[in-house]
Amino acid sequence: MISKLPLQFYSEPLPGIDPDELQGKLIVIEGPDAVGRSTQVSRLRVWLEQKGHAVLDTGMARSALAAKGIQQAKEGHTLGSVTLTLFYTTDFADRLENKIIPALRAGFVVLTDRYIFSIMARAIARNEDRRWIEQVAGFALVPHAVFYLRCDVKDLVSRVVLGRGAFDYWESGMDMRFGRDMYDSFVRYQTRLIRAFDRMASKYNFVTIDASQQPELIFRRLQQHIGGLFAAPRTRSRQKSESDQ
């Protein structure tokens, strides 16, 4: 397990950023495709705002720098796996520097639908080098909490079929041709993705939540855990003092 305090950098810090200036909370919702992350983020934002917190919600491929480029590049179905990883990492870096860190500095709760862990899991599922992607991701801030919504692939399949009616090319890993058709490739790719998340769960201190439950039960679990983050606030200097003992 990585033992770093929240809002420290995992390894290489971004230049000019003093973590002691960051006063907000960074909360991450992670998990495979179609697991229900976006639904929970939307509900959590409303709940937190009703509690009086200023909230910024963000997610993958929403940066001013890279979002359009990612969308355009994916339309051609020609992106290589390393290029795909670096494209999403650029998107994350831009959002971290220009959205997430300013919001944390202002005392916001930052609620993010996926974080650097999804980029890592996707890279690992596509057979990229684990150590390389961990080094690439080292400029990320340590969140206060990472909630990993986990369910089996069969549950993901039923949600895609009932909810969307069709499988997505990239969510199925069709760029790697993991299977003979979209369905088969989806099952194999998402299985690899879940395996990558499972391996990261202990190292990065994920809170794993059974996402096969009803959305209302998942929401209540998230409320309980997140409420605890605000129950006993401590200064960063006190946290540092305790961690040095």
Which percentage of the chain shows pLDDT scores above 70? 94
Give the chain's end-to-end CA distance (angstroms, integer).
18
**pLDDT tens per residue, range 210-244:** 999 999 999 999 999 999 999 755 544 445 444 44
Q: Average pLDDT, stretch 4-26?
A: 94
What pLDDT score does 232 carry?
57
DSSP string, 167-213: --TTTTTTTTT-SSSHHHHHHHHHHHHHHHHHHHHHHTTEEEEETTS
Of residues 196 and 162, the one with the higher pLDDT is: 196
- Name the band, by pLDDT with cuts 50, 70 and 90, for residue 56: very high
Domain 22-228 of CATH type 3.40.50.300: yes
Assess contact for 187 and 125: CB atoms under 8 A.
no
What pLDDT score does 233 carry?
54
pTM for the structure as a whole: 0.92
Q: 84: exposed, middle or buried (C-beta count within 10 Å: 0-12, 13-18, 19+)?
A: buried
Q: Kindly list the domain boundaries of the chain, sorted by start residue.
A: 22-228
What pLDDT score does 12 carry?
86
What pLDDT score does 244 carry?
45
CA–CA distance, 226 with 44 (Å, rounded to integer)? 9
pLDDT tops 80 at residue 129: yes
What pLDDT score does 238 carry?
45
- Name the band, by pLDDT with cuts 50, 70 and 90, for residue 27: very high
> Average model confidence (pLDDT) for the chain?
92
Assess contact for 194 and 117: CB atoms under 8 A.
no
- Name the band, by pLDDT with cuts 50, 70 and 90, for residue 1: confident
CA–CA distance, 81 with 141 (Å, rounded to integer)? 24
**pLDDT tens per residue, range 172-181:** 999 999 999 9
What pLDDT score does 141 carry?
98
